[in-house]
Amino acid sequence: MVDILISPIVTEKMNLLSEKFNRYGFRVDKKANKHEIKKAVEEIYGVKVVTVNTMVYAGKLKSRFTKAGVITGRTNAYKKAIVTLTEGDSIDFYSNI
- How many domains, in total, are found in the chain? 1
Give a yes or no: residue 43 inside a domain. Answer: yes
pLDDT, position 94: 78
Give a yes or no: residue 23 inside a domain. Answer: yes
CATH assignment at residue 44: 3.30.70.330
**pLDDT tens by residue, 59-74:** 999 999 999 999 999 9
**Containing domain of residue 22, as a range?**
5-85
Q: How many CB atoms lie within 10 A of CB 15?
A: 14
Q: What is the mean pLDDT of residues 66-92?
A: 94
Q: Across 10-77, where does the E strand assignment appear?
A: 23-28, 49-57, 61-66, 69-74
Give a yes or no: residue 27 inside a domain. Answer: yes
- DSSP helix/strand/coil, 40: helix
Give a yes or no: residue 94 inside a domain. Answer: no
Asked if 49 and 38 touch (Cβ cutoff 8 Å), the reply is: yes
**Percent with pLDDT over 90 in the chain:** 88
Q: What is the mean pLDDT of residues 4-11?
A: 94
Give a yes or no: residue 49 inside a domain. Answer: yes
Give a yes or no: residue 10 inside a domain. Answer: yes
Q: Sign of the C-alpha dihedral, residues 22, 27, 28, 31?
A: positive
